[in-house]
Structure 1
């Protein structure tokens, strides 16, 4: 597996296959925690850690336990249980060592357990592996890390946009959720320009 291929996977997960802006997964924290830059960054770091560790655990569990035992139909249940255990561990660590961030994230921290972006990363890498035999364990980890960084990029950019929106004179009928969704759609469209660059790297 070449370095160019891994770099392509990493950049694709951040830019052209961004789980928020392209696959529309993880919209709940994207809209709920992106009001302030510091909470958006903290949430993104937590999600990135969970994505990488969850992929590191679920891939071998699926490949070497569920498939040989013909229990692959249980992958969703098993993956959610693994993610829930990881989030509980992360929540305990943050509560002890990072109380301000823990309090700022509030209900959104335990909601990582049901964050479809985290579950989507762990399941979609298996689909990619089925389509492309060279997409193995290392590529899955690189993809998970790239997906986490992509989550962070989307959250941080959108947090900056929302902070600027607070200073703008927005018409009354667009205030709140409407202008937020319009801004989110414009941020998503801006990422389409990277399509050709990543395609050449993966070719």
Structure 2
């Protein structure tokens, strides 16, 4: 009976030891499992961060492309304006030339009229007719003043046209410089997008 008890106790001890070993193995496996879960969680965080970075880079690239497109469109509009302004600049000297020709023609006509008036006064000089001559002189004086006023207006218009021409010329130069700056920016953006 003692031998059986002894065997039984030995068996119980062995089972207890095996049970402890199994529990230790379970604990080790649990630790390994928890470690793997932590690694997976960290990898998931890294993956999410990578996704965020990729989305951010995609958004940055989309914004750059949009900016590039808008800049290109703006440059195209400015180019059309520059071409239109260039046509105007070419027309203004011709307009000024025509106005000067008109002014010269008008001036010559005025001088001719004045000479005719003087000749008419010389021809009709008669002491009995002094009042008529005086009235004629007044009339001619008034006409001369009107002619001079018209000449002055034309001259003022020519000066204004000349000022407009100069302003347009400077605006054209400014716009041209702006376009060159925009082209430089566009090249830089294009180079950045290609990288």
TM-score above 0.5, yes or no: no
With normalisation by structure 1, the TM-score equals 0.26
Q: Which has the higher helix share?
A: 2
What's the TM-score, normalizing by structure 2?
Answer: 0.27
